[in-house]
Structure 1
Amino acid sequence: MIKSQITLKQLEAFVGVVDLGSFRKAASVLGTTQPNISNRISTLEETLGVILLHRDAGSVRQTEKGEALLAIAHQILWNAEAFLEAAERQDLVDDRLRLGVTELIACTWLHRFLRRFREVYPSVSVELEVGLTGEIEKKLATGQIDLALQTGSFDREAGRTIHLRTYPYIWVAAPALAQANGTNRSMVNLLKGPVLTHGRNTVASKELARYAEAKRLAMNQVVYSSSLASSVQMTVDGMGFALLPAALVRDQLQSRSLVQIDIEWLPSPLEFYARFNPKRVPRFVEVAAGFAAEIANSGN
């Protein structure tokens, strides 16, 4: 029996340094100091009688033995969480979830997701980052976040991808603006005045640009915003027609501060996914992705 010669903290330190690429980053994620991380790995190496990591100036490399043991270390940590889960003691999991989400999720069902996660994992803190899907995907690939709730398509592999929900776009406007423009609404007429939408590099904006180019329509009246919330408010204020995800303006449509406009063209719906690398994250990240799928499909 190994008794207490090898600890989970030592294995966490070893896995953290390899996955994140430095002692400093591992210390930050594990909520301790760099000397503590170094000491845990040195003690583990001494106990095993092997060198796991080469510590070069400014870099860390696995030894051949370290590479062979890494997958097993991951599995041990995964099974330790599974043990607590089987015992229904997820409250004993003391860790952090680094979560990256897009603004649409932040404005719709994120709070319900966070409440659900906190109910099951009360001792796991959440570090939240709201940003554009490209930024989130980059941070997922470099190990800066554990779970990405983002739109497709993808430029980088993640390891595991779970489809969450499809969000269609609609055209909306303030009631006064819609009434002033009457019933003669078409893309030709729409693009003659201000059109509000989100990021220039989003899939919807790129599709709008291709459509306008094919129809030889001017795009000089399109107003792009990196903030969906700002786009909604500007639309409510009557600054123009807007192309936005329907889920984002559900409350405004119900209160009649916005009305839906029937136009002959719409972009492809947004497809949302939960993405994570199961080889680099704790077990609870997969559980969290399952919560996201459950809540995303339960309504707005």
Structure 2
Amino acid sequence: MIKSQITFKQLEAFSFVVDTGTFRAAATALGTTQPNISSRISTLEAALDVTLLYRDAGSVRLTTKGKELLERTRDILRAGEALLEAAGRQELIEERLRLGVTELVACTWLQQFLRLLRREYPNLRVELEVDLSRKIEERLWEGQLDLALQNGPFAYQAAGERMLSGETYVWVSNEEIAKGLVGGNSVARFFNRAVLTHARHTAAGRALHDLATERGYDVGKIVHSSALSACLPMVSEGLGAALLPKSLVKSELDQGRLRTLDADWTAPPLEFFARFNADRAPRYVEKASEIAASIRPIAAKDS
């Protein structure tokens, strides 16, 4: 019978080798060894009596028959997940989710996301990467991540994408700096000291730099940081004013360690998305994107 000839592990190995590009990368993604992956593929090819992959100096290419059977393979793997979900046995899904998030997500709602994800998939192992959005996008494009929770803009279009609620920016400083500001609500008054914000290549960083150039402010006063959390102690200690996402500074504002500042300009809101490769992602990846959207519904107002 077919059950003695073909296994889910063999089909999974086939799918992952195609997605990652090499037997070694597939072994790493599946938490096994390269010889195991090679054995599973060879056994699958023998059972089907077809050649699925061409092996070329460490890389692989799909054969014509391999291309034909790849989507059927993905359908079977997804159907297996669907069976477990229908039976209410998601705890039997013992897979790995390679998750990439930006620092802002990690500092704000990531823990809530992980709690809900664990409730849905108790034995799903999460491998977390926290990095700049452009780095996360590169990893997703290369097949090194399953799901990205990140902000735009993007260089590549993802086949699976859910828009999440955005993040608004606010100007903040400590009490001493706030009391010493004069000049109405003009952003110009912030440039008497350092102005802290996102990294230079980010949308907010570029927007602030363009504003300063347009209005004749000293762009040398802008202190760009790729680590937003590092800005908090600097602005709290009085280095200057900061343009930061509101959710990042909410706790400091609530506890009175920082104050919001009136300004005649602020950066456009960050647009956040849950992104994945829908054409090859397992069902649990899409479900994880739905969980993210439930936490950050686009109809919700930033608080």
Post-superposition offset of 1:216: 2.1
Task: Give the 3 Å change call, closer, same or farther, for CA 209–183 of structure 1 in structure 2.
Answer: closer
Task: Give the 3 Å change call, closer, same or farther, for CA 182–255 of structure 1 in structure 2.
Answer: farther
Q: Which residue of structure 1 aligns with residue 167 of structure 2?
A: 167
- State the alpha-carbon separation in 1 of the partners of residues 36 and 57 from structure 2: 19
Q: Which residue of structure 2 aligns with residue 267 of structure 1?
A: 267
Any runs of at least 4 consecutive aligned residues in structure 1 with deviations exceeding 4 A, and if so which? none
Cα distance per residue 1:25-55 (max 9 Å; x no partner) = 1111111111111011101110111100111
- State the alpha-carbon separation in 2 of the partners of residues 113 and 140 from structure 1: 19
Q: Which amino acid in 2 is paired with 1:162?
A: R
* 1:112 correspondence with 2:106: no
SS in 2 for 1:267: coil
TM-score by length of 1: 0.97
Post-superposition offset of 1:160: 1.0
Q: Which amino acid in 2 is paired with 1:36?
A: N
Q: Which residue of structure 1 aligns with residue 192 of structure 2?
A: 192
Post-superposition offset of 1:183: 6.1
Q: Which residue of structure 2 aligns with residue 30 of structure 1?
A: 30
Map 1:171-182 to 2 at 5 A. Answer: 171-182=171-182
SS in 1 for 2:286: helix
SS in 1 for 2:220: coil
Cα distance per residue 1:197-249 (max 9 Å; x no partner) = 12111101111111122222221111111111111111111111000001111
Post-superposition offset of 1:280: 2.2
Q: Which amino acid in 2 is paired with 1:72?
A: R
Post-superposition offset of 1:192: 2.6
Map 1:32-181 to 2 at 5 A. Answer: 32-181=32-181
Post-superposition offset of 1:93: 0.3
Post-superposition offset of 1:182: 4.4
CA contact (8 A) 1:141 1:157 kept: no
- State the alpha-carbon separation in 1 of the partners of residues 211 and 196 from structure 2: 16
Cα distance per residue 1:130-159 (max 9 Å; x no partner) = 010000000000001000001111101211
SS in 2 for 1:251: helix
Q: Which amino acid in 2 is paired with 1:47?
A: A
Q: Which amino acid in 1 is paired with 2:58?
A: G
- State the alpha-carbon separation in 1 of the partners of residues 292 and 135 from structure 2: 20
Q: Which residue of structure 1 aligns with residue 295 of structure 2?
A: 295
Q: Which residue of structure 1 aligns with residue 18 of structure 2?
A: 18
- State the alpha-carbon separation in 1 of the partners of residues 138 and 147 from structure 2: 12
Cα distance per residue 1:78-111 (max 9 Å; x no partner) = 1110110111100000110000000111000100
Post-superposition offset of 1:4: 2.5
Q: Which amino acid in 2 is paired with 1:130?
A: V
SS in 2 for 1:3: helix
CA contact (8 A) 2:100 2:131 kept: yes
SS in 2 for 1:6: coil
SS in 1 for 2:172: strand
- State the alpha-carbon separation in 2 of the partners of residues 223 and 184 from structure 1: 23
- State the alpha-carbon separation in 2 of the partners of residues 9 and 279 from structure 1: 20
Cα distance per residue 1:244-281 (max 9 Å; x no partner) = 00111101000010000000001110010000002222
- State the alpha-carbon separation in 2 of the partners of residues 196 and 182 from structure 1: 19
Question: Identity of aligned pairs, percent?
Answer: 50
- State the alpha-carbon separation in 2 of the partners of residues 207 and 59 from structure 1: 42
Q: Which amino acid in 2 is paired with 1:146?
A: D
Using the TM superposition, name which of 211-220 and 70-79 deviates more.
211-220
Q: Which amino acid in 1 is paired with 2:34?
A: Q
SS in 2 for 1:32: coil
Post-superposition offset of 1:124: 1.0
SS in 2 for 1:145: coil
- State the alpha-carbon separation in 2 of the partners of residues 228 and 218 from structure 1: 22
CA contact (8 A) 2:190 2:240 kept: no
State the aligned residue count: 300
Post-superposition offset of 1:119: 1.3
CA contact (8 A) 1:162 1:273 kept: yes
SS in 1 for 2:219: coil
- State the alpha-carbon separation in 1 of the partners of residues 157 and 12 from structure 2: 24
- State the alpha-carbon separation in 2 of the partners of residues 290 and 64 from structure 1: 35
CA contact (8 A) 2:183 2:189 kept: no
Structure 1, unaligned runs of 5 or more: none
Q: Which residue of structure 2 aligns with residue 248 of structure 1?
A: 248
CA contact (8 A) 2:193 2:239 kept: no
Q: Once superposed, what is the RMSD of the aligned Cα atoms?
A: 1.3
